[in-house]
Amino acid sequence: MSETDDRPRYAPEWLALREPADAAARATGLLAPLRERLDGTGPLVIRDLGCGTGSMGRWLAPRLPGPQHWILHDHDPELLELAAARMPRTAADGSAVTVATERGDIARLTGDGLVGTSLVTASALLDLLTRDELDGLAAACATAGTPALLALSVAGRVDLTPADPLDADITDAFNTHQRRVDQGRALLGPDSVETGAEVFVRHGLAVRTEASPWRLGAGESALTAEWLRGWVGAAVEQRPRLAAPAEAYLARRLKAAEAGELDAVVHHGDLLALPATVGGTA
């Protein structure tokens, strides 16, 4: 893996702000088939790709039984340090959880590199991959026989209450921005879960997907405000002609959020991919 990566670095403050909403949104219906697949496989080795501050590990490790060794991957050494320090130390049954870190380009994982890995997981990452990077990840999981749990990928839908005439334009511009070509990389954006299911199935894995929406109300007004700023900002970056109406739109929406008068459902999707077992079925 390379030691450098030009992908964006996310502020720990933003990751901390969104963590409760992420935890509430994660698709718990995928845990049972995941536990069933991992049952009896011995000590678990789990690779968390693009781990950020480690929110996936804090959520998942206490929900899986048995000894676990987490390998946290990220290109940001400061986030890796935070994630390692904040990982849980006990599993669902009280077994030990240990942790290591690896800095580098997660897109370069190979089947050989995943040998001995029980699970690959990631949050808010799939939509930032290209189709080629996704194909490489699916091929690596298939080769190594490693399941993948990829959570909280953007789905391209936002429901705001009350509605505003500019909602559709902002949503469309944002979705186009998420599918942008970034430094020569065409991102999957809101097509990531559907494309991910297609690609993993093509590589012989069985796939289950579930919705994992953020549900933001008066109690999440701080997160709603920060999300709105980023959402509208990306839309304007994509379509500068929206700048003037979007400025007034954002002011209206922020005022409503601060007053506890704005509800938002920000749709995401989770994907579980299970490779064939020795008997040939997932």
The arithmetic mean of pLDDT across residues 135-146, rounded, is: 96
DSSP conformation class of 278 = T
pLDDT tens digits, one per residue of 172-231: 999 999 999 888 889 999 999 999 999 999 999 999 999 999 999 999 999 999 999 999
Torsion angle defined by CA atoms of residues 111, 64, 127 and 242, in that order, rounded to the nearest 10 degrees: -160
Residue 168's closest CA among 160, 262, 214, 193? 160
Other Cβ atoms less than 10 A from the Cβ of 156: the count is 22
pLDDT at 280: 44
Element at 180 (helix H, strand E): none
pLDDT tens digits, one per residue of 234-280: 999 999 999 999 999 999 999 999 999 999 999 999 999 999 864 44
Q: Which residues pair with 46 in a beta bridge?
A: 70, 119
Residue 104: phi, psi to the nearest 5? Answer: 155, -170
pLDDT at 277: 66
Asked whether the predicted pLDDT for residue 115 surpasses 80, the reply is yes
Asked whether the predicted pLDDT for residue 281 surpasses 60, the reply is no
Share of the chain above pLDDT 70, in %: 95
Asked whether the predicted pLDDT for residue 2 surpasses 90, the reply is no
Other Cβ atoms less than 10 A from the Cβ of 220: the count is 21
pLDDT at 106: 75
pLDDT at 9: 54
112: left (phi over 0), alpha (psi -120 to 50) or beta: alpha
Residue 141's closest CA among 164, 113, 122, 178? 113
Share of the chain above pLDDT 90, in %: 88
The arithmetic mean of pLDDT across residues 65-92, rounded, is: 96
Average pLDDT, the chain: 93
